[in-house]
Structure 1
Amino acid sequence: MRDSITKLVSISFLGGLIGRALRYGFNVVIARGLGVEALGIFAFGMVIMKGGGVFARVGLDNAAKKYIPIYRDNDDPARVSGTILLCLGTPFVVGTVIAVVLYFGKGLTEKLVGTTFHATTALFILGIPLIAIMMVGVNATYGLKETKYSVYIRDFGQSIAALVLMAIAAFVVSDLSVLVVGYLLSILIGAVLAIFFLHQENALRLDIKPVFEYRKIFAFSIPLTLVASIQYLVSWTDILVLGVFVSSESVGWYQAAYQTSVLLIVVLQSMNSIFPSIAAGLHKSGQHERLNRLYTAVTKWVTYLTVLGLAYVLVYSQQILSIFGTTVQSAEISLVILAIGQSVAATVGPAGYLLMMTGYERLQVVNTTITAVLNFALNIVLIQSYGIIGAAIATGVSFSILNLLRLAQVWLLLGIQPYSREYWRGAFAILGAALALSLVKLLPAPGYIQLVVGGSIAILIFVATLWSFGLTDEDEILIEAIN
C-alpha cells in the first residue's frame, strides 16, 4: 500500500471529525430552526430509512472492503469491476423493493403499532435505495486502501450539501418536508460522487467485461446482512420504541443526547475505515504477529482519545446540550449514560471487524442476536417506566455487552488482547486533562466559553503529557509504512 496507516487514519480522522461535526450540525439546525419536536420526527424517519438501507445493502458494504483489495492486489480488473457493479446494483434493486413494500404498507404498520406516522416518513422510505448505494459506494472506496475518497464523498460532499439545503429549509422556508427533500438530494449527490471516484481510480471500468463472483461474494455478505440488521436494531431500537411510547419532543431531546454521545466514537470510526482492508490482507498473507501489533496499537490510541472525550462530556453535559436550546435534566442524564456506553464500545477497538476479516463473520450473528433481543426487551420495559433515561440505560448496557463479547472472542479465538500496563501513560494524561476541565468549569464565564477554553487546555495537557513520555514499542506500528 502506498501510504502508511498513520497517513490513512489521519486523513480519515480529520475528515471524519469535520463530517461528524457537520452531521451534528444537522440536528442543531433542525432544533434551532424548527424546534425539538421536529428533530424527534426527523430522527424517527432517519431510523426507518437507514434501517431499510441496512437490509438493502445485503452485507455488500463489508464484501466490497474485503474483496476489492484482494482482486486489485492480484491485478484482476475484471473482477474488481464486477465486484463494484454487483455491490452497487444489488442494493439499488433490493432497496427499491423494500421502499415499495414499506411505502404501500405504511397504513397497515400504523394500525399494528397503534400510532400515526408523520407525513415525512413516506419521504424517508423513498430514500432507502439512495442511502444504500451511497454507503456501499463509500465502503467500496475503502477497498482501494484510500480514505480520502470517503472523506470527499460523505464527510464533505454529502454533508456540506445537506447542511446547506437543510439550513435553507429550516430558517428560510420553515418547512420540515422541504428539509427532508433537501437531505435526500444530498444523499443522491453522495452516491454520484462515490461512482465518480471509483471510475476515476480505474476500479470501475467500462472498457472491460466484468467478472462477477456471485457465489463467493454473497456467501460472505449474506450472513453479514443479518449481523448488520441486528446491529442496527441494537443502535436504533431506542428511537423506534421511543417513537411509539413518548412524544416527538422527548424523542428530539433523546436524539440530541444520542448524537452528542456518538461524537465519542469518531476516532474508532476513523480507524475502522482502513483497518478491515489491512486486517484482511495481513490475515490472508499469514502475518498474524503484525496483525496482533496493529490491533493492539489501534485499540490503545482509540481508548486514550475516547476516554478523553468522555471526560469532556461528563464535565460539560449541560453546556453541550444547551446548543440545542433550553436543555432538560432527563436529556443531560441520558447523555452521561450514553457517553459511558459508547466509550465502552470504543475501548475494545475494531474487535468486530477483526473477527469478520479473520473468518469468524458468522460468529457476529450470535453476538448481535443476543444483544438485539436484550436491547429490545430492555427498551420496552425501561422506556415505559423511565422515558428517555430508560432508553439510554437500555442502549448503553447493550453496547457494552456486545463489545465485551467481541473482545472475549478475539482473545479466545485469535489469542489477542490489546491491553497492557503501558496504559498508565494515557491514564495519567487523561487525569490531568480532566482536572483542567473541572477547574475551567468553576470560572464565571458563559457556557460556550467554558466549552472552548476548557477543551483547548485539556487537549494541550493531554498531548504534552504523552509527548513527554515518548513512544512505546507498540506505537511504532502506527508510523511504519505498510508496503
Structure 2
Amino acid sequence: MAEQSSDSSLKSVSRGASFFMAGKGLDNALRFLLNWVLVRGLGGVLFGAYTLGLVILTFAQVFTNLGTNQAIMKFVPMYENDPEKRQRMLGLSYLTSLVAGVAIGILIYLLAPWLTGYVEPAYRPYFTDVVRLFAFLLPLNTLMSCFESVFKSLEIPEYQVAIRNVLIPFVRVVSVGIALLLGAALVGTVAATVVAMCITFCLAVWLVMTRADIAPTFRGASRSELVEFYDFSLPLTLNHAGQVLANKVDLLMVGFLASAYITTKDAVGIYKIATVLGGILLLPLSGFNQLFPSIASRLYNDDKMDDLEALFRRVTRWTFTLGLFPAIGAAIYARELLVVFSDSFAQQGVGVLLLFVVAQLANASVGPSGYVLMMTDHHYLTVANQWLLGICNVVLNYLFIREYGLIGAALATATVIVAINVLRVVEVWYTVGLFPYSRKYVKPLLAGAMTAVAMLGTKSVLTGYVTGIGSPTIVALVQGGVGGLVGLAVFGGALYVLGIEQEDREFMAENIPS
C-alpha cells in the first residue's frame, strides 16, 4: 500500500515536472538564443553593461514585489468562498505592486548617475541611460509577477508558463533581434527590450482579463484585511531578498568590482554566460520542484514518512542522473560552448564555467532537500540557509575577487553552493531522519564515467579532422554536436546495460504509452 501511495505521488510530481520542463526547455532555448544574439550584436563589453543593468533591476524588484505574488497564491484560494474579499485581496496586491514599482523606479532613475560612477569604466558612457531605461520596467515586471501568481492560484499554470516561459523570451528575442539588425547600439537595444516588455505586458493583461475568473477591487478593504494582507506579504520580502542575494550578488559584485580587481572588460558578460550554461543542469530539479512541495506537505501531514522518503530518494536520484550527462558534456566541451558566443569568452571563461558546472551538479545531487525542510515544519532553516548562502557569497566574493579576479568570483560562489547543499542534506537527515542516497547511485556514476571517456575520445579523434573546416564557431558546433550524440548514446546505453532499477521499470511501464 505504501509503495502504491509513493508511486501515485511520484506520478503527480512527474506530470508536473514534464509540463514545466517542456515550457522551461523552450524558455532556456529562447534565452540562450537571446544571449547569443546580444553577445554577437553588441560585443562582450556592451553585453556586460546590458547584463549589469538587468541585475540592478532584479535587486530593485525585491522592494517592488513586497511579497504580493505569494500573497495572491495564499489568499485567492483561501477566500474562494468569499469572492468579494478575494477581489479586495487581489486589488491590494496589484495596487501595492504598482505603487512600489513606480516609487522604486523613480528612485533608480534618479540614482543612475551615482551607480554609473562605480562600474567598469568601459560601461560608463552608456550606463546611466541603460539603468534609466530599465527603471521603466519595474512596475511592469512586478505586475507581471502578480499575473503569473493569479494563474497559479487558480490552478491553471499553463497560462503562467505561457507568460513567463514563452511570451517574455520570445517577444524579447524578436524585438532585440530586429533592433540589432537595424543597427541599434546598446541604448537602442535596451529600448527594444523595454518595448518587448510593454508588448508582453499588454498580452498578459488580456490573458488575465479573458482567462481568469477573478477581477480586482481597489477599495473597501477593512483595517483588519490590510493587517492580514501585509502581515503575510511584507515578511516574505526578507526571504525574497535572501534569494536574490544568494543568486545574483556575485554577478553584481563582478560588475562593481571589475574596474579595481578584474583585468578583462568582458568580465560581466563571461560570468553571465557561464551562469546561463551552468543553470541548464537545474532544469530537471526545477521541474520536479513544481509539485513536490505540496505532495511532500501532504505526505508529512498524513504521517506517511516512508512514502515521503521513497519519493525523496527517487526524485533525488532522477535529478542527479538527468543532471549528470549535461554536466559531463559541459565540462568536456566548455571551450566549445563559450566559443559559440565569443572567442574572448572561450579564452577567459573556461575555468568559470567549470566551477559553475560543479556547483550546479551539487545542487542537482541533493534533490528537493530545501523543500523537504520547508514542508516538514522546518521552514526557518530554509530562510537561515538562504541568508547564510547570501552573506557567505558576499564575503567570499569580495575576498576572492580581490585576490583572484574573475575566477575568484566563480570559486567563491561554487564553494558556497556546494557547502550549503551538503548542509541541507545533513539538516534533512538530522531533523526528519530522511536520507536520499543509496547504492543505486553506483549505476549512474559508472555510466557517467564511461560517457566521459567516450566524449573525451571523440573530441580527441575529431580535433584533427574538423580543424580548419570553417570558423571557430562552426568547428565548435561540429565537435560539440558529434560528441554530444556519442555521449548521449553511451550514457543511455550504459544505464540500460547496467540495468534500470525495477521500480523505475515499473513506473515507466505504467506511465509511458507504448
Normalised by the length of structure 1, the TM-score is 0.87
Structure 2 residue matching 1:124: 3-state secondary structure: helix
Query: 2:94·2:143 contact (CA, 8 Å) conserved in 1?
Result: yes
Give the Cα–Cα distance (whole angstroms) in 1 for the partners of residues 508 and 374 of structure 2. Answer: 22
Q: Does the alignment pair 1:317 with 2:325? A: no
Spell out, residue by residue over 1:328-357, the C-alpha distance to the aligned partner (whole angstroms, 9 max, x if none): 433111110111112212222222333334
| Amino acid in the other structure paired with 2:108 | L
Q: Does the alignment pair 1:361 with 2:382? A: no
Question: Which residue pairs with 2:350 in the alignment?
Answer: 332
Query: 2:130·2:187 contact (CA, 8 Å) conserved in 1?
Result: yes
Please state how far the C-alpha of 1:204 moved relative to its aligned partner: 2.6
**Which of the residues 141, 146, 152 maps onto 2:151?**
141
Q: Describe how 1:29-40 pairs up with structure 2 within 5 A.
A: 29-40=37-48
Give the Cα–Cα distance (whole angstroms) in 1 for the partners of residues 303 and 200 of structure 2. Answer: 36
| Amino acid in the other structure paired with 1:316 | Y
Q: Does the alignment pair 1:417 with 2:425? A: no
Structure 1 residue matching 2:366: 3-state secondary structure: coil
Q: Does the alignment pair 1:44 with 2:73? A: no
Question: Which residue pairs with 2:262 in the alignment?
Answer: none
Q: Describe how 1:122-141 pairs up with structure 2 within 5 A.
A: 122-141=132-151
The answer to which of 9-18 and 54-63 deviates more is 54-63
Spell out, residue by residue over 1:302-342, the C-alpha distance to the aligned partner (whole angstroms, 9 max, x if none): 11111211101110000000011213433111110111112
Give the Cα–Cα distance (whole angstroms) in 2 for the partners of residues 256 and 205 of structure 1. Answer: 40
**Compared with structure 1, are the counterparts of its residues 8 and 83 closer, same or farther at alpha carbon in structure 2 (3 Å cutoff)?**
farther
The runs of 5 or more residues in structure 2 that have no matched partner are 1-7, 260-264, 467-474
Spell out, residue by residue over 1:264-317, the C-alpha distance to the aligned partner (whole angstroms, 9 max, x if none): 212222223333344445555555544443333222211111121110111000
Q: Does the alignment pair 1:246 with 2:258? A: yes
| Amino acid in the other structure paired with 1:241 | M
Please state how far the C-alpha of 1:388 moved relative to its aligned partner: 1.2
Please state how far the C-alpha of 1:403 moved relative to its aligned partner: 2.7
| Amino acid in the other structure paired with 2:98 | F
Please state how far the C-alpha of 1:196 moved relative to its aligned partner: 4.6
**Compared with structure 1, are the counterparts of its residues 397 and 80 closer, same or farther at alpha carbon in structure 2 (3 Å cutoff)?**
farther
**Compared with structure 1, are the counterparts of its residues 38 and 109 closer, same or farther at alpha carbon in structure 2 (3 Å cutoff)?**
closer
Query: 1:34·1:176 contact (CA, 8 Å) conserved in 2?
Result: yes
The answer to which of 278-287 and 220-229 deviates more is 278-287
Query: 1:31·1:324 contact (CA, 8 Å) conserved in 2?
Result: yes
Structure 1 residue matching 2:489: 3-state secondary structure: helix
Q: Does the alignment pair 1:343 with 2:361? A: yes
**Which of the residues 453, 469, 473 maps onto 1:435?**
453
Give the Cα–Cα distance (whole angstroms) in 1 for the partners of residues 100 and 15 of structure 2. Answer: 36
Please state how far the C-alpha of 1:23 moved relative to its aligned partner: 0.8
Please state how far the C-alpha of 1:476 moved relative to its aligned partner: 6.5
Question: Which residue pairs with 1:275 in the alignment?
Answer: 292
Give the Cα–Cα distance (whole angstroms) in 1 for the partners of residues 438 and 87 of structure 2. Answer: 43
Normalised by the length of structure 2, the TM-score is 0.82
**Compared with structure 1, are the counterparts of its residues 13 and 375 closer, same or farther at alpha carbon in structure 2 (3 Å cutoff)?**
same
Give the Cα–Cα distance (whole angstroms) in 2 for the partners of residues 233 and 306 of structure 1. Answer: 25
Question: Which residue pairs with 1:306 in the alignment?
Answer: 323
Query: 1:355·1:410 contact (CA, 8 Å) conserved in 2?
Result: yes
The answer to which of 418-427 and 458-467 deviates more is 458-467
Aligned-pair identity (%): 29
Spell out, residue by residue over 1:207-254, the C-alpha distance to the aligned partner (whole angstroms, 9 max, x if none): 9x9999655554444333212212212222222222122254222222
Q: What is the alpha-carbon root mean square deviation over aligned residues?
A: 3.3
Give the Cα–Cα distance (whole angstroms) in 1 for the partners of residues 442 and 13 of structure 2. Answer: 25
Spell out, residue by residue over 1:91-117, the C-alpha distance to the aligned partner (whole angstroms, 9 max, x if none): 232222221222223344556889754
Give the Cα–Cα distance (whole angstroms) in 1 for the partners of residues 201 and 58 of structure 2. Answer: 15
Structure 2 residue matching 1:362: 3-state secondary structure: helix
**Which of the residues 381, 395, 399 maps onto 2:413?**
395
Give the Cα–Cα distance (whole angstroms) in 1 for the partners of residues 78 and 450 of structure 2. Answer: 45
**Which of the residues 467, 470, 482 maps onto 2:500?**
470
**Compared with structure 1, are the counterparts of its residues 33 and 334 closer, same or farther at alpha carbon in structure 2 (3 Å cutoff)?**
same
Spell out, residue by residue over 1:439-463, the C-alpha distance to the aligned partner (whole angstroms, 9 max, x if none): 2211133221121122123223333
